[in-house]
Structure 1
Amino acid sequence: MGGTPVFAHVDINNCYVSCERLFNPGLKDRVVVVLSNNDGCVIARSNEAKAIGIRMADAEFMVRRLLKEHDAVMFSSNYPLYADMSARLMNNLARYTYTLMVYSIDEAFLALDNIQHLNLNDHTAMISRNVMQHTGLPITIGVGPTMALAKLANKAAKKRKRPFLVLDTDQKISDTVSDFPIEDVWGIGLQYYHKLTEFGIKTARDFRDLQADFVRQHMTVQGWRLHQELWGKPCNVIKDVADRSKGIESSQSFNTYQTDIEAIEEAVAMHAATVALKLRQQNSMAMTLTIYLRTNKHNPKHDQHYPSITVKVPFAANSTHQLTRVAAQAIRAIWQPGFHYLKTGVRATGIVPEGEVQYNLFSNYEHSREQALAELMDELNGRYGRGTVRLAADSFERKWAMKQDFLSKQFTTNWKDIVVTK
């Protein structure tokens, strides 16, 4: 593969379960599941849980008996822990590449082609060993000449129960795609899967054998790019900058129906603060906020109401104080009495780099003061734990907070939960 692009795809094996096991070694070899918001359904499973038939998105109440029979351990989603461990993984991976793209909380793409005198198998094995040593997280790595083949190699390695798989020759690529299910190929969604099965396409090799013009006609340019990538021709590139076009969102379901504006306003304040923090972390600012409310569409006993409002921030901002004030005013504009609300959220769009914000001559907005205040809050929360300092609008009681009956400790983000050895 000399002179050609080389991509690596890395992800954490059973991410949320692995994070829980890291701080509780007694969970090894046991059936472990992690539940979604409000402990509703299964969103992560250990291999032992998969073996007894627990499926992704199974409702907790439907598998409760099965889990009890196998002495399973359940956890509520501990997002602060998972996010922190994810950050540690990404910081470690950045040591082995000149370009890293964080694709999700548990996976990333690395560019490896500009590293001199690189033996791909030795380098990949070294990354796998070092990540385990430095973070304690088990990972799988797939390597190939395109991002699609790297992702495919990762899944193939998992099926073969290997820590990594390097597709560095045409023969290895051909052998791997020959029996790889088409539904497991990156970029093949449900719609494409049904369309391809109509043409008798069952494997990645079947898909590769199609004519490129036929693929473009029936699957548009995205399908054509995937087709080319499976032949080892790169059509996607790793981006090492945040994609500001998609926006930043924070949302959450309540643990019970909420009818009082005060409780809903507190939740919105928390989401606005979360969005503001994420903006500051990527050195961006938002020009618009969308605030929304949702009732439970699955409950016919209650009247339905799905209001939302998009408001322009007076001046692009990433200040917790500024965004919270805008969000609080917006939620009061769309809330109506008599409805049983189950979810609320805040979404920031119109995102621009922090250094490109313009203020007009007649503005009395104290940008430097807002920034200094936000930086101070970030420093204190970073030192003493997230949520140590917050605005009064974001209540400490949070009676509306989601149900988390099986929540583990925040081992890496809260001083009182840090593991102590004797």
Structure 2
Amino acid sequence: MVTDPKPVFALIDCNSFYASCERVFRPDLAKVPIVVLSNNDGCVIARSYDAKPFIKMGAPYFQIKQCLQQHGIRAFSSNYALYGDMSERVMSLIEAQVPAVEVYSIDEAFADMTGITDVTEVSRQLRARILQCTGIPVGVGIAATKTLAKLANHTAKRLQEQTGGVVNLCPDISRDWALRNTPVSDVWGIGRRMSAHLEGMGITKAMHLAKADPWMLRKKFSVVIEKTARELAGTPCLELDQPDPPKQEICCSRMFGKRLSDIAPIKEAVATYMMRASQKLREQKSYCRKVRVSIRTGMFNPDEAKYAKGVVVTLPYPTDDVRLLTKTAVEAVEHVFQPGFKYSKAEVMLLDLRQPGEFSDDLFALNQPAEASKVMAVLDQINNRWGRGTLRAASVPSHPDWGMRRDLMSQSYTTRLDQLWKVSCH
């Protein structure tokens, strides 16, 4: 009788992804510690490995400038266009090499390695190919369950020099070693509060959790902790997730680079956010029937008057046409704007999203003209080829003075022709 092969999972995780993206096109930063900042250069959201001992995650930038200078740490504004494009390149390489993939986040993916003969060698080849084609270093953790694959990946990064960035925990001896040498707080899904509860019960290592009574864990905590324990013991409880269904709502929201008191720049911001939201709408091939627009002031400054308001507008017909969506959103600003306030943020949200043909209107209801769909297809083709914002609505400025502060942003080396990587020979 032929039995099905035991499942084998691999977690491919990019090392310090944001910092690695910055280093790809800046070889001079190979050994320089790096931190990446949030919107408006607010606080630290990513750190290279060599910056972690000196800078805490979430530290406000204005408070750590001297510390950065003292330790020779470079700070960068978030370059989401670059990070997103580099992520797509990495994920495409993974998808081309393995039978099935679950993209878990912008910098990590689970892969189904079941049935592959020499899974360690294949993982080393995949790691080398990603590094060669993108310049992004990755760690690969291999195991019989997703939770153990996470643990294997953690071990691969922690002991990169000894492991070469690839750890296989399928052999029992390797799995047991990793479980004995991993604090329970480092196990995937065990947060700070849960680890404190477990440590109070004497469960301080991953091995202790793997050997704990799963039914007791379920009764005392939850089915999630029970599954975690079973997975650590080698029993698969989590499968690769299927691709996400189309989103039921799409939101685009940004803080302004400065407080706005006039309605004109707020309308520009709403038009800009709608440009991005409508692009996401068309990417998932959906139509929108309702739009919500809201604006608000800062909520934490006691010296500033506070105000927030939003309005929902029903469109004349389901659409993905950025021209109609922008016109509707900009007009909605008139209904929520009140003079005398200093606004800090605007938000557009696309609601009542469905696939074409799913709206059950009456026989005489309006529908999006075929010409509009053709125009949107051309718009997306141009922007996909020449870079986001190459073709845009006239109400969307190219360099708004209200835009997010990104004083330390690197170039968009892979998504803008005018910022391509330049190599000079001397």
**TM-score (norm: length of structure 1):** 0.91
**Structure 1 portions without partners, runs of 5+:** none
Q: Aligned runs of 1:16-415 on 2, under 5 Å?
A: 16-51=18-53, 53-113=54-114, 115=115, 117-161=116-160, 162=163, 163-244=165-246, 247-354=249-356, 356-357=358-359, 360-415=362-417
Q: CA deviation at 1:289?
A: 4.1
**1:189 and 1:42 mapped to 2: Cα distance?**
21
**8 Å contact from structure 2 (residues 13, 109) kept in 1:** yes
**1:166 and 1:86 mapped to 2: Cα distance?**
24
Q: Cα–Cα, structure 1 residues 5 and 293, in superposed 2: closer, same or farther, change >3 Å?
A: farther
Q: CA deviation at 1:311?
A: 4.8
**2:393 and 2:347 mapped to 1: Cα distance?**
18
Q: CA RMSD in A?
A: 2.4
Equivalent position SS for 2:244: coil
**2:413 and 2:58 mapped to 1: Cα distance?**
26
Equivalent position SS for 1:388: coil
**1:212 and 1:300 mapped to 2: Cα distance?**
50
- The total of aligned residue pairs comes to 419
Q: CA deviation at 1:148?
A: 1.5
**8 Å contact from structure 1 (residues 255, 400) kept in 2:** yes
Q: CA deviation at 1:139?
A: 0.7
- Higher mean alpha-carbon deviation, 358-367 vs 9-18, is at 358-367
**2:338 and 2:360 mapped to 1: Cα distance?**
36
Equivalent position SS for 1:278: helix
**2:151 and 2:294 mapped to 1: Cα distance?**
38
Q: Cα–Cα, structure 1 residues 97 and 257, in superposed 2: closer, same or farther, change >3 Å?
A: same
- Higher mean alpha-carbon deviation, 323-332 vs 118-127, is at 323-332
**8 Å contact from structure 1 (residues 250, 272) kept in 2:** yes
**2:315 and 2:234 mapped to 1: Cα distance?**
46
Q: Which consecutive aligned stretches of 4+ in structure 1 deviate over 6 angstroms post-superposition?
A: none
Q: CA deviation at 1:23?
A: 0.5
Q: CA deviation at 1:367?
A: 4.3
**8 Å contact from structure 1 (residues 248, 347) kept in 2:** yes
Please tell me whether Structure 1 or Structure 2 has the larger radius of gyration of its CA atoms. 2
Tell me which residue corresponds to 1:12: 14
- Higher mean alpha-carbon deviation, 352-361 vs 128-137, is at 352-361
**2:316 and 2:209 mapped to 1: Cα distance?**
51
**8 Å contact from structure 2 (residues 34, 75) kept in 1:** yes
**8 Å contact from structure 1 (residues 9, 110) kept in 2:** yes
**1:159 and 1:44 mapped to 2: Cα distance?**
17
- % of aligned pairs identical? 33
**1:301 and 1:269 mapped to 2: Cα distance?**
30
Q: Cα–Cα, structure 1 residues 198 and 66, in superposed 2: closer, same or farther, change >3 Å?
A: same
Q: Cα–Cα, structure 1 residues 318 and 6, in superposed 2: closer, same or farther, change >3 Å?
A: farther
**Structure 2 portions without partners, runs of 5+:** none
**TM-score (norm: length of structure 2):** 0.90
**2:101 and 2:378 mapped to 1: Cα distance?**
29
**1:20 and 1:93 mapped to 2: Cα distance?**
21
**8 Å contact from structure 1 (residues 99, 240) kept in 2:** no
- Higher mean alpha-carbon deviation, 191-200 vs 122-131, is at 191-200
Q: CA deviation at 1:332?
A: 3.5
Q: CA deviation at 1:131?
A: 0.6
